[in-house]
Amino acid sequence: MDTINKPDAAPAGGRLSGHVAVVTGGSRGIGKAIASRLAQLGAAVSLCARNARALERTASELSANGATVRSQAVDVTNARDVANFIEATEKELGPITILVNNAGIGGPGFGPVHEKSEDDWQRVLDTNLKSVFLVSKTVAPSMIARGRGDIVNISSLAGKNTFAGGGIYCASKWGLQGLAGCMAEDLRAFGIRVSLVCPGSVATEFSGRGLKDPTKALTAEDVAHAVSMIVLQGPQSFLSEVQLRPVAKP
């Protein structure tokens, strides 16, 4: 099931007017903040996540604020689901110019590796890494045909650092670092920019290790600002990676 909400008056004159943005994991937290920021800049947005009710709530909120938005419950680890979602988005909103791979989970990925199950491994790697492969490869051909596009991957500083109890989660994010870096080299000749945003601890509902002091964490809006900065970069250059840290150490 998918829904599309068109406002009575869409944002006019925004710097992303005419753009179509896809945000995976867009029903809450970082994904919701990114979708809201891109919509404020004038882009039409297409959101997906597994929770249809949460998606509908987010789409309604964005629409009430003047955005053109569609939402669809999607399993981004399933190639057929992804293909249907991308096809429906381009049919209803137009060619995708911005893809934000934000879908991710943490809970099953935390804990000593020797205590984790194969199912824990599969769930985290499928959601955090395989989904990026599936969605990106589905969107890339039409971007190549038009000679432009931005693919922004939401990673983590856990993709650069190791810590006790982070084995599976870190593996997924280290893998994402490598995948995104190679994608950037594969696609830059076609005018497509592939970037990474690597935040530290963010105060959201994300199921992670928990925050010692939420007041010293990043906000979802901080990450959304970084994404907007990437997609608004001049056409002759791109920000290949943004590492985002709170000013105060937790």
Active site residues: 169
Provide the residue type at 243 as one letter.
Q
Residue 33 CA to residue 29 CA, distance in Å, equals 6
Q: Are strands 44-49 and 20-24 parallel, antiparallel or unpaired?
A: parallel
C-alpha 118: how far from chain center: 25
**Two structure tokens written together for 91:** 């049919």
Residue 220 CA to residue 148 CA, distance in Å, equals 27
**Two structure tokens written together for 86:** 């991308």
